[in-house]
Amino acid sequence: MLAHGTFSNHRSCRGLARHLSRCGFNCWLLDFQGHGISETPRIEPDFESMCLADTAAAIDYVAADSTDGKTWWIGHSGGGLAILMYLARDPHRQSRLHGLITLASQATEAAAPLSNRVAIRMASLVTSVLRVAPGRLLKLGPENEFAAVMQQWYRWSLSGRWEGSDGFNYLEALKGVTVPSFSLAAAADNFIAPPAGCEKIHRCLGAVDKTYRLCGLHAGDREDYSHARIVSSRNASVDIWPRIAEWLHSRA
């Protein structure tokens, strides 16, 4: 299962899915509610409710078509946070997963620099006024985003705490997530998913089999990857996608 991030849809993961399919994997692409070809919900979700509901539905769907009822999950940005929240809430759900891969997924470090903090506060104000986060207008992606989804992410970023609406501490709960994990961060992602935030999530995971990789020139890659290009770019098809396939094959 491949899951996109905010302001996006399944098309952002389509190239990676094609590559993995050629490597012998059966791939599904998820469109979160109100994105891509998925229907818009009657009640606007926040980040947490959207991810928890849609992740559960996606895993149920794939399990019905799987020989062992399990799947691998690959999530870019919010698509990675989705599976982490789903598992953190109930570690017993890990029995339905072989493992997980996150690309540029973090929730707490975007506002660390003052300039980012100001930008996030301004974005929150614009989102409140427009009652939507205008992704297309601001060239953040092909989709607009639900206001409640982004307001929750703004709060996580500004507070530095990844907490549910009920106060649930996701970072603390990640110690119960023990399935194999591969966390990739983008070296040039200085706003949406700074490497420090991705590495923090990696450190909190309770898995013994866990790998963290910062994707950039220092690691021998063709570029210092940005938030978007780590999952969908010509260079990613050479540097990133084969590593993902290799990691999956070594644990399949």
Is the pLDDT assigned to residue 252 strictly greater than 90?
A: no
Structure tokens at 55: 């992740």
183-240 residue pLDDT tens: 999 999 999 999 999 999 999 999 999 999 999 999 999 999 999 999 999 999 999 9
Helix (H), strand (E) at residue 30: strand 29-30
Reported confidence tier of residue 156, pLDDT bands at 50, 70, 90:
very high
Query: What ranges do the domains of the chain cover?
Result: 2-107+168-251
Residue 139 has pLDDT above 90, yes or no: no
CA 5 to chain centre: 6
Please give the pLDDT value at position 45: 98
| Of 234, 235, 148, 228, residue with least CA distance to 193 | 228
Whether the per-residue pLDDT at 137 is higher than 90: the answer is: no
| Residue 66 pLDDT exceeds 90 | no
| Residue 39 CB neighbours (<10 A) | 8
Q: How many CA atoms lie within 13 A of 228 on its CB side?
A: 11
| Residue 67: pLDDT over 90 | no
Which 8-state DSSP code applies to residue 105? -
pLDDT of residue 65: 82
> What CATH number does domain 2-107+168-251 carry, 3.40.1440.10, 3.30.70.1150, 3.40.50.1820, 1.10.760.10?
3.40.50.1820
Q: Which bin fits 97, alpha (ψ -120 to 50), beta or left (φ > 0)? A: beta
pLDDT above 90 for 24: yes
Instruction: Give residue 63's pLDDT.
Output: 87
Question: Could you give the CA distance from residue 18 to residue 95 in angstroms, rounded to a whole number?
Answer: 27
Alpha carbons 127 and 250: distance in angstroms, whole number: 43
Mean pLDDT score of the chain: 97
Angle, CA 149 vertex, CA 144 and CA 152 arms, to 5° = 140
Pick the closest to residue 78 from 105, 110, 54 (CA basis). Answer: 105
Beta strand 29-30 with 145-146: parallel, antiparallel or unpaired? unpaired
DSSP annotation of 94 reads G
Backbone angles phi, psi at 71, to 5 degrees: -145, 165
Burial 18-27 (b: 16+ CB within 10 A, else e): ebbeeeebeb
pLDDT in tens, 82-99: 999 999 999 999 999 999
Task: Convert the pLDDT of each residue in 11-21 to its tens digit.
Answer: 999 999 999 99
